[in-house]
Amino acid sequence: MSRYPDLCLNPKECVCQEMGTVDPSIFWTLLFKGAFYGMKKREVGEKYCLSGHPTLPCNVLKFKSTTIMLDCGLDMNSTLNFLPLPLVQSPRLSNLPGWSLKDGNAFLDKELKECSGHVFVDSVPEFCLPETELIDLSTVDVILISNYHCMMALPYITEHTGFTGTVYATEPSVQIGRLLMEELVNFIERVPKAQSASLWKNKDIQRLLPSPLKDAVEVSTWRRCYTMQEVNSALSKIQLVGYSQKIELFGAVQVTPLSSGYALGSSNWIIQSHYEKVSYVSGSSLLTTHPQPMDQASLKNSDVLILTGLTQIPTANPDSMVGEFCSNLALTVRNGGNVLVPCYPSGVIYDLLECLYQYIDSAGLSSIPFYFISPVANSSLEFSQIFAEWLCHNKQTKVYLPEPPFPHAELIQTNKLKHYPSIHGDFSNDFRQPCVVFTGHPSLRFGDVVHFMELWGKSSLNTVIFTEPDFSYLEALAPYQPLAMKCIYCPIDTRLNFIQVSKLLKEVQPLHVVCPEQYTQPPPAQSHRIDLMIDCQPPAMSYRRAEVLALPFKRRYEKIEIMPELADSLVPMEIKPGVSLATVSAVLHTKDNKHILQPPPRPAQPTGGKKRKRASDDIPDCKVLKPLLSGSIPVEQFVQTLEKHGFSDIKVEDTAKGHIVLLQEAETLIQIEEDSTHIICDNDEMLRVRLRDLVLKFLQKF
């Protein structure tokens, strides 16, 4: 406890809990209950869920008069409904038959194409945005970004909703986020598509379409990709922050990013007022990969812990998957086949390259070329080497040697790994097979990967290995059917699994956990796996897209500072050991969410003259305060006193809350409870006053 006395005020009583000698010159900390001065008790937290995707979250937290957006992930699963955008003219894709209704009506055949029993929209791919209707996004004060994957919807929010606030993110998140956005824009813009399909989105028509188009939600809100200009504008609104940096929001709330261990610069956030603490855990990892380890200790003592971004593949251990990846890669290449790895240009690819660096020599694959093709490949590989302060300890120490922290530098030096902005240009000169190609996009709908799928899909010698867990590999492959090449699914997701979450929650012990509804039940396909859900007490509160959740904590206390001169004037009276009381008369001054008790204006001196009263001289209408009482009434002594004063025939009954003293002769009841005493007598005011005075003898007044 603080060494300063905590004053707990309510309209009836004022108790000073004295912890030692008080230095009145120090500001006293006052806690006062919400009801004081008519202040309404209300929830301080509300959470608006704008995204249903547990790993691409977008939530808005209203907390203490601030509106904070937590992440703005972009769900790209919508693109799986579209045909791939081929870099090179693909006769196969362009010759796909149009789709017609069962009755033969072919009015949609320009928009929808059929491939191996699946129907795809033949148009520029579109993305499913976070909810924009649930809350007026122009009222959002700040956006907190937890990692570069969770900021892909930023341009939509900052450029199209009237947002005027600030975005907070770490430097690697911004730089790598920029690369991801740049790559996305580049992938889409370099294959201009004249056609933009919209007819199928008509609700009446959508109903007639086959699954999964029929079941796609809110297709009317799907939007085309943003432009580079919008990206730049959005990124210009970001303010860079470092781990553990404390950022004040309007004096009411303090936010702090903490390392989350998942990716370069990835963060969890602490959002706290003086008496409430909300932790936002998003995309965290306890594995030792390249980023700085997760800071768990700072998450302790949270009132609410919002938990998102757990692993999407809880049954797959990342280590096993890396082993599987290597085995399959080696097997394919040894048989003369090529390996295609659809991936993002940053993140797991660094770890994969590191594993391969160790593995290729032992597997006799030193002569096999590795190609990394992305418009941002070069920047990504170089950026990874310069963010030393954001790396794990081992890699940081390498920097001081000095050595490049990631071994892919050596792979590049020795020409084992080559990178190109696209398949055009130098790549076509250097290309030799068998080889391993890392390229985007993992959805297989745009990017250079489309070309390789078309090129290598016909041979069973080749293998495509899916390592990114964001997309269903079966759906990703649907427009490439029939496919001869082998497909291996090795999702590598280093984010927390349920065992780790369980340990984390035991460690940090939040009062309440809030999480997406997907985490509160076993996965639908494995309903018996009760180990694949969050198990905590009290049970986690869940939310789903477009839902508003009242966060389960009550606003109980507010911090009020007391001016030194006012504090000086207080005269605490010890009413029992360790507890002192003082009455305070003051003016409460509130500005910028800061409250200060100031001395009341002095009462106007009685003057003889008829000086005009000024408004500021108005004295608050202070009534004469009745003395405050404290103490308790010992029943036995009280009865003895009554007897001394001539009352006889006294009976005492015990009740749940205290005692009833019954004066049978006088037909009077005295109800003594912990915090009140009632005298009930029949129209005998004299008697009541007599009894009251006897009661008051046992209490202290001040």
Partner 1 sequence: MDPECSRLLPALCAVLADPRQPVADDTCLEKLLDWFTAVTEAGSSLLLLQENPCLVELLFHVLKSQDLSSRILSFSLRLAGIFAAQEDCFQYLQQGELLPMLFGEVGPLGGAAWTAPAVRSGWIQGLRTLAQHPSALHFLAACGAVDTIFSLQGDPSLFVASAAGQLLVHILDLAMRGPAEGRRSPQACDWPACAQKIVGHIEDSLCSTAIPQVTQALSVLTTAFGHCHGLWTQGLWVRLSPLVARLLEKDPVPASHSLVDLLLSVARSAPSSDRGLWETLAQTLSHLSPTQAGPLALGILKLQDCFIHRLPKDKRDSWSSPAQSRAGFILRTCSAAFCHLPSGLTLWILGHPVPQALRTQAFGILLQPLACVLEAAAQAPGPPGLLEGAAADSMMVDTLLSSKSACVGLLCCALAHLGLLQPLPQRPSPWPQAPLLGAAVTTLRLCSGSAAPTSDVGGRLCAILVGCGRVQRAALDFLGALSQGTGPQELVTQVFSVLLEYLVSPESSSMVLKKAFQATLRWLLSSPKTPGCCDLDPHTQLFLRELLPVLQKRLCSPCWEVRDSGLEFLTQMTRHWGGQAGFRQALLASEVPELTKQLLRDPESYVRASAVTATGQLSSWGLCATPASPECPGAQQESLLVELLHILSTDSEGFPRRAVMQVFTEWLRDGHADVAEDAERFVAGVLQAASRDLDWEVRAQGLELALVFLEQLLGQRSSHCPYAVALPETAPPGVLDQALQVLCRVQLFEFAFRALFDCDRPVAQKSCDLLLFLRAKAAPCGSSQEAGDSPNVASVEATLQRWQAGEQGQPLGYLEPGAVVALLRSIDLEGLRDTLAESSDHVEKSPQSLLQDMLAAVGVLGENEADCY
Q: List phi, psi (to 5°) of 59.
A: -125, 150
Nearer of residues 502 and 583 to partner 1, judged by Cβ: 502
506 forms part of the interface with partner 1 (CB under 8 A): no
Give ∠ CA 345-177-471 in degrees, rounded to 5. Answer: 55
Site string for partner 1, 472-491 (x = CB under 8 A): ------------------x-
SS (H, E, C) 348-378: HHHHHHHHHHHHHHHCCCCCCCEEEECCCHH
13 DSSP assignment: -
The amino acid present at 225, given as its one-letter code, is: C
CB of 651 to partner 1, least distance (A): 51
Nearer of residues 22 and 365 to partner 1, judged by Cβ: 365
Pick one of 102, 207, 432, 528: the residue that binds partner 1 (CB under 8 A): 528
Pick one of 26, 474, 530, 587: the residue that binds partner 1 (CB under 8 A): 530
CB of 331 to partner 1, least distance (A): 5
Asked if the bond preceding 342 is cis, omega within 30° of 0, the reply is: no
CB 441 within 8 A of CB 447: yes
Nearer of residues 97 and 523 to partner 1, judged by Cβ: 523
CB of 530 to partner 1, least distance (A): 5
Of 122, 164, 75, 158, the closest CA to residue 516 belongs to 75
174 forms part of the interface with partner 1 (CB under 8 A): no
529 forms part of the interface with partner 1 (CB under 8 A): yes
CA distance 451 to 194: 20
Place of tokens 């001054």: 589
Site string for partner 1, 254-293 (x = CB under 8 A): ----------------------------------------
Residue 413 φ/ψ region, left for φ over 0, alpha for ψ in the -120 to 50 degree band, beta for the rest: alpha
Nearer of residues 187 and 498 to partner 1, judged by Cβ: 498
CB of 423 to partner 1, least distance (A): 28
> Residues, the chain, total?
702
Burial 7-18 (b: 16+ CB within 10 A, else e): bbbeeeebbbeb
CA distance 76 to 445: 10
Of 178, 155, 139, the closest CA to residue 234 belongs to 155
Find all residues with CB under 8 Å of 358, minimum gap 6, and list them.
Answer: none
CA distance 395 to 391: 6
Nearer of residues 87 and 326 to partner 1, judged by Cβ: 326
CB 434 within 8 A of CB 387: no
Nearer of residues 66 and 463 to partner 1, judged by Cβ: 463
CB 101 within 8 A of CB 108: yes
Number of residues that bind partner 1 (CB under 8 A): 29
CA distance 470 to 140: 28
CA distance 143 to 135: 14
DSSP 3-state of 396 = helix
CB of 460 to partner 1, least distance (A): 12
Residues β-bridged to residue 121: 82, 112
> Cα 31 to the chain's mean position, in Å?
29
Nearer of residues 109 and 531 to partner 1, judged by Cβ: 531
CB 491 within 8 A of CB 312: yes
Q: Looking only at residues 48 through 107 of this chain, which bind partner 1 when binding is defined by CB under 8 A?
A: none
Q: Looking only at residues 614 through 633 of this chain, which bind partner 1 when binding is defined by CB under 8 A?
A: none
364 forms part of the interface with partner 1 (CB under 8 A): yes
Pick one of 334, 458, 576, 589: the residue that binds partner 1 (CB under 8 A): 334
Nearer of residues 16 and 355 to partner 1, judged by Cβ: 355
Give ∠ CA 654-656-659 in degrees, rounded to 5. Answer: 35
Nearer of residues 234 and 496 to partner 1, judged by Cβ: 496
Nearer of residues 417 and 562 to partner 1, judged by Cβ: 417
Nearer of residues 328 and 630 to partner 1, judged by Cβ: 328
Pick one of 359, 387, 406, 456: the residue that binds partner 1 (CB under 8 A): 359
531 forms part of the interface with partner 1 (CB under 8 A): yes
CB of 490 to partner 1, least distance (A): 7
Hey, CA dihedral for 104, 106, 111, 113, is it positive or negative?
positive
Q: Which token pair is 62?
A: 């209203």
CB of 378 to partner 1, least distance (A): 28
459 forms part of the interface with partner 1 (CB under 8 A): no
Pick one of 361, 653, 667, 693: the residue that binds partner 1 (CB under 8 A): 361
436 forms part of the interface with partner 1 (CB under 8 A): no
CB of 452 to partner 1, least distance (A): 22
Site string for partner 1, 293-332 (x = CB under 8 A): ----------------------xxx--xxxxx-xxx-xx-
CB of 464 to partner 1, least distance (A): 16
Of 636, 651, 633, 650, the closest CA to residue 694 belongs to 633
Q: List phi, psi (to 5°) of 200.
A: -65, -20
Place of tokens 């969050």: 534
Nearer of residues 318 and 442 to partner 1, judged by Cβ: 318
Of 127, 151, 128, the closest CA to residue 69 belongs to 151
CB of 307 to partner 1, least distance (A): 19
Q: Angle between the 318-334 and 348-362 helix axes, to the nearest 10 degrees?
A: 50
Nearer of residues 338 and 380 to partner 1, judged by Cβ: 338
Q: Which stretch binds partner 1 (CB under 8 A): 133-141, 164-172, 343-351, 520-528?
A: 520-528
Pick one of 208, 363, 588, 662: the residue that binds partner 1 (CB under 8 A): 363
Nearer of residues 120 and 438 to partner 1, judged by Cβ: 438
Q: Which stretch binds partner 1 (CB under 8 A): 183-191, 245-253, 529-537, 555-563?
A: 529-537
CB 339 within 8 A of CB 363: no
> Which residues contact partner 1 (rule: CB under 8 A)?
315-317, 320-324, 326-328, 330-331, 334-335, 355, 358-359, 361-364, 490, 526-531
